[in-house]
Amino acid sequence: MCGIVGYIGGGGAKHIIIDGLKRLEYRGYDSAGIALAADGRLAVEKAVGRIANLEARLAEVSAEDSHAGIGHTRWATHGAPSRANAHPHTNADGTIAIVHNGIIENYAELKERLTAEHGVRFRSETDSEAVAHLIGLFYEGDLLAAVNRAARELRGTYSVCAMAAAEPDKIVAVRKDAPLIAGLGENCNFLASDIPALLKYARMIYLIENNETVLVTRNEISIFNEKMEKVKRDVFHVTWDADAAEKGGYDHFMRKEIFEQPAGVAETLNRGSDENGAIKLDGISLTKRDLEHIERVYIVACGTASHAGLVGKFAIERFARIPTEVDIASEFRYREPYINAKTLFICISQSGETLDTLAALREAKSRGARVLSVVNVVGSSVARESDDVFYTRAGPEIAVASTKAFTTQLVCMYLIALYMGRTLGTLPDAEYERVLLELGQLPDKLTLLLEDEPKIRDIAKRIYKNERIFFIGRGNDVSVALEGSLKLKEISYIHSFAIAAGELKHGTIALIEQGSLVIALASQDRLFEKMLSNIEEVKARGARVIGLAKAGNREIEKLADEVIYIPVCADEVTPIPAVVPLQLLAYHVAKLRGCDIDKPKNLAKAVTVE
Ligand code: AGP
């Protein structure tokens, strides 16, 4: 998830592009760069950290103005934040420059071919650099043709803007599964990954569709399909204000990030597979020998991440048959845990900066444990201090309430457990394939699920005045109940409470009275009958029950007052679809209660204090 800006006009490219990049800062980034057409060459400048660092470098080295340029803010996915890894990337002689948003899945193959067959020397760790060399390889004086030719070699997700020193009056862009728009300005034209970047200069825009190539000059924007036939496209008039535009037209970052989950899950799943079809867990070097050496796994995290850990425990014990414990990070190091060199310490953290989690990691490491982390922020403290890092590819998560980071953490835990099971031989190939297939079907199922938002909004209208709400579930639904309850309490300030349904009768049921609201998660086929009994228990004491079950389950309608349905899927993977309606429910309840959804009171996005 990066920010892209392209400009071509009468002058002022440097300032306009920098200004555009600043309007994309909310997307999160760790480095930035710009390429400007000047005096027959491409002047490239990059800097790690804030855009102000890039401006400082520009002030030093390139004072002259320019009429065309491309800029980029990078959210690292391949290669830590550094000037070498920052975009724009160029071909060997710097005559082609590109910026790229997305992930080139076959970059290793391309890199090998470019190096072996064309003697290309790569200067970065990124997947994107391969695109610059590829365009350079096909360039014969026609940038549009070279970009189109190169795009045919790419697999993965990309929106790419390219410039050629020999054609300074053109910018060419191409996209597949990563956002790209083109904006019509006054005597100038724009390209961007997101509307806010160009809103100050252009409100008439073209939405570029998948596999389309765009040629932008000062006076014209031409759109071509895969066959390079010109495409007619209606202009979209942007009426948003700047604040709404930052959220991509959504009212809040949280809702935007809920709706980004199909893409985040897909991108986190798409790690490619190795020669014998096994998942390639980039960043994990655990060999069969290493895994056979492991006697115990600890999964340690905080908040939402710890709920992902509970699902991870289930998956690792089920697929890899290794005893696994989940610990809250703030408790872990004070309980004198049993740790030695045969311990695998898995740490989950969206920010990679949560101090409780970092402290627990350091404790485990000091006692000889092998540390594997699941992190969303590349190059964060947790990532840097781990032996292995397996990145979620959720993109920047801005809202304090974690949503897309959670579902992508779940994907990572499943992939790690599947990898361990397959490597150790404790998981039959057929089971491995079955679960992997189920995971692969989730992005489309999540997209379908999100279309049910109006039903969830209606339920929110009926329940938002409640001051106390119970969440119950069994098996994998316990972690979803905990997560749904946390989402609700942290943004609506309703006192919500989650408990394993079987545990109700050991005390908590004393709180259930006439009118109590209970959200009963019953997605687990093998525990469904048990859940029906628990629903009867609370109904008998006057509770109102909102059930959650797989589509087509009519049984639950006999007992629950209303039912939220999720798409049919295997019990093992239900936490991913099951949490989405609860995220939406929390969002709409909080909205109806007039709460500050993206920045709830007393909370921070990364808790860097103990
Ligand atoms: C979740 O919505 C909260 N923001 C919080 O529980 C969060 O998950 C927790 O603080 C852990 O943060 P981390 O994933 O960045 O380590």
Of ligand 1's listed atoms, the one at least distance from the Cα of 490 is 2
Of ligand 1's listed atoms, the one at least distance from the Cα of 401 is 2
pLDDT at position 166 is 97
| Span from the CA of 476 to the centroid of ligand 1 (angstroms) | 20
| Span from the CA of 411 to the centroid of ligand 1 (angstroms) | 17
| Span from the CA of 305 to the centroid of ligand 1 (angstroms) | 6
My answer on whether 112 and 238 are in the same domain is yes
Q: Which two tokens stand for residue 239?
A: 């009426």
Whole-model pTM: value is 0.76
pLDDT, tens digit (0-9, with 9 covering 90-100), for 451-467: 999 999 999 999 999 99
My answer on whether 471 and 492 are in the same domain is yes
Of ligand 1's listed atoms, the one at least distance from the Cα of 604 is 4
DSSP conformational letter for 178: S
**Percent residues over pLDDT 70 in the chain:** 96
Of ligand 1's listed atoms, the one at least distance from the Cα of 357 is 16
pLDDT class for 304, splitting at 50, 70, 90? very high
Rounded average pLDDT over 582-587: 98
The residue contributing the CA closest to ligand 1 atom 6 is 303
pLDDT at position 241 is 73
| pLDDT beyond 70 at 187 | yes
If one residue of 350, 480, 489, 599 were mutated to test the ligand 1 pocket, choosing by the most ligand atoms within 8 A of its CB, it would be 350
Residue 610: inside a domain, yes or no?
A: no
My answer on whether 238 and 263 are in the same domain is no
Residue 600: inside a domain, yes or no?
A: no
Residue 3 φ/ψ region, left for φ over 0, alpha for ψ in the -120 to 50 degree band, beta for the rest:
beta
My answer on whether 233 and 274 are in the same domain is no
If one residue of 327, 354, 608 were mutated to test the ligand 1 pocket, choosing by the most ligand atoms within 8 A of its CB, it would be 354
My answer on whether 182 and 267 are in the same domain is no
| Span from the CA of 403 to the centroid of ligand 1 (angstroms) | 10
If one residue of 302, 375, 596, 602 were mutated to test the ligand 1 pocket, choosing by the most ligand atoms within 8 A of its CB, it would be 302
How many domains does the chain fold into? Answer: 3
- For 94, 325, 346, 365, 490, the CA distances from 342, given in Å and listed in that order, are 50, 14, 13, 12, 37
pLDDT class for 273, splitting at 50, 70, 90? low
Please state the separation of Cα 19 from the chain's center in Å.
25
pLDDT at position 62 is 59
- Give the whole-angstrom CA distance, residue 317 versus residue 299: 12
pLDDT at position 511 is 97
| pLDDT beyond 90 at 279 | no
Give residue ranges with CB within 6 A of ligand 1: 302-305, 349-351, 354, 357, 400-402, 490, 606-607
Domain at 279, CATH number: 3.40.50.10490
- Give the whole-angstrom CA distance, residue 159 versus residue 217: 18
My answer on whether 406 and 487 are in the same domain is no
Of ligand 1's listed atoms, the one at least distance from the Cα of 400 is 4
Owning domain of residue 418:
255-440
| Span from the CA of 607 to the centroid of ligand 1 (angstroms) | 8
| pLDDT beyond 90 at 134 | yes
Domain at 74, CATH number: 3.60.20.10
DSSP conformational letter for 140: S
Residue 581: inside a domain, yes or no?
A: yes
pLDDT class for 244, splitting at 50, 70, 90? low
Residue 597: inside a domain, yes or no?
A: no
Known catalytic residues? Answer: 2, 605
If one residue of 493, 595, 607 were mutated to test the ligand 1 pocket, choosing by the most ligand atoms within 8 A of its CB, it would be 607
Residue 606: inside a domain, yes or no?
A: no
My answer on whether 319 and 174 are in the same domain is no
Residue-wise DSSP of 233-264: -PPEEP---HHHHHTTT-SSHHHHHHHTHHHH
Determine the Cα angle at 101 with ends 76 and 228, to 5°: 160
| Span from the CA of 349 to the centroid of ligand 1 (angstroms) | 7
| Span from the CA of 600 to the centroid of ligand 1 (angstroms) | 13
Q: Which amino acid is at 213?
A: T
Residue 103: inside a domain, yes or no?
A: yes
The residue contributing the CA closest to ligand 1 atom 9 is 303
Residue 602: inside a domain, yes or no?
A: no
| Span from the CA of 356 to the centroid of ligand 1 (angstroms) | 11
The residue contributing the CA closest to ligand 1 atom 7 is 303
Lowest-pLDDT choice from 67-76, 110-119, 145-154, 571-580: 67-76
Strand duo 468-473 + 370-375: pairing: unpaired
My answer on whether 571 and 514 are in the same domain is yes
Residues in a beta bridge with 460 = none
Residue 196: inside a domain, yes or no?
A: yes
pLDDT class for 359, splitting at 50, 70, 90? very high
My answer on whether 344 and 474 are in the same domain is no
My answer on whether 237 and 272 are in the same domain is no
Determine the Cα angle at 437 with ends 431 and 442, to 5°: 130
Of ligand 1's listed atoms, the one at least distance from the Cα of 603 is 4
Q: Which residues contact 437 (CB under 8 A, 6 or more apart)?
A: none
Q: Which residue has the higher pLDDT, 469 or 271?
A: 469
pLDDT at position 607 is 77
